[in-house]
Structure 1
Amino acid sequence: DDPCSLNIESANYAEHWCSLLKKTETPFGRCHLAVDPTEYYKRCKYDTCNCQNNEDCLCAALSSYARACATKGVMLWGWRERVCNKDVGSCPKSQIFLYNLTTCQQTCRSLSEGETHCLKGFTPVDGCGCPD
């Protein structure tokens, strides 16, 4: 069953935000040739309607598409500026929000131990990290 059919408010919320995945003028549009957004859009709507905390599930679904794009070499810079931006401002004072965190980020540990923890081929993720 489609969970969006049970609650019109959740359905409208899911449609409004998940449709960003399909729009070419959004940051997600830069990845359409590398990763078809159709399945991610369907899963986004289903998960967002099926979840008790709509925003968390929405953000997880959008992040899933962004990660699939990063795996194909397409970084989606700035997609969190319009939606799911609570994480952007929640970094500790010593860190900044980055869209391209890898296991090779500059940290005290990596500087002291060298490249031993740097995984080659690691797909970048977004989150809080150390500035250069």
Structure 2
Amino acid sequence: DDPCSLNIESANYAEHWCSLLKRSETPFARCHLAVDPTEYYKRCKYDTCNCQNNEDCMCAALSSYARACAAKGVMLWGWRERVCNKDLHACPSSQIFLYNLTTCQQTCRSLSEGDTHCLKGFAPVEGCGCPD
């Protein structure tokens, strides 16, 4: 069953935000040729309507598309500026929000010795990290 058919308010919310994945004027459009947004849009709507905390599930679905794009080499810089932006300001004072964290980010330790945890070919993720 489609969980969006059970609650019109959730369905409208899901449509409004999940449709950002398909629109040509959003940061997500940069990735449309590399990753088809159709399935991500469907999953976004389903998850958003099926979840108790709509925003968290919707943001996870949008982030999933951004991660798939990063794995294909297309970075979706700035997509959180318009939506799901609470994470942008949730970093500790010593860190900043980055869209391109890898296992090879510089740390104080890695400046003095080789980083044994650095995995080449690891797709970038977003989150809090150390500034340059």
TM over 0.5: yes
Report Cα offsets for 1:46-105 as digits up to 9, x if no partner: 000000000000000000000000000000000000000000001000000000000111
The separation in 1 between residues aligned to 2:104 and 2:122, in whole angstroms, is: 9
Structure 1 length-normalised TM: 0.98
Say if 1:96 and 1:131, in contact at 8 Å, map to a contact too: yes
The residue number in structure 2 matching 1:8 is 8
Report Cα offsets for 1:19-57 as digits up to 9, x if no partner: 000001100000000000000000000000000000000
Moved over 6 A (4+): none
Other structure's SS at 2:100 match: strand
Say if 1:110 and 1:117, in contact at 8 Å, map to a contact too: no
Compare 72-81 and 106-115 and name the one that shifted more. Answer: 106-115
Say if 1:28 and 1:79, in contact at 8 Å, map to a contact too: yes
The separation in 1 between residues aligned to 2:103 and 2:19, in whole angstroms, is: 32
The separation in 1 between residues aligned to 2:17 and 2:112, in whole angstroms, is: 43
The separation in 2 between residues aligned to 1:81 and 1:129, in whole angstroms, is: 18
CA RMSD of superposed structures (Å): 0.8
- Identical aligned pairs, as a percentage? 91
Q: Between Structure 1 and Structure 2, how many residues are aligned?
A: 132
What runs of 5+ residues in structure 1 fail to find an aligned partner? Answer: none
The separation in 2 between residues aligned to 1:115 and 1:130, in whole angstroms, is: 15
Cα drift, residue 16 of structure 1: 0.1
Structure 2 length-normalised TM: 0.98
Cα drift, residue 112 of structure 1: 3.6
Compare 31-40 and 110-119 and name the one that shifted more. Answer: 110-119
The separation in 1 between residues aligned to 2:112 and 2:18, in whole angstroms, is: 43
Other structure's SS at 1:110 match: helix
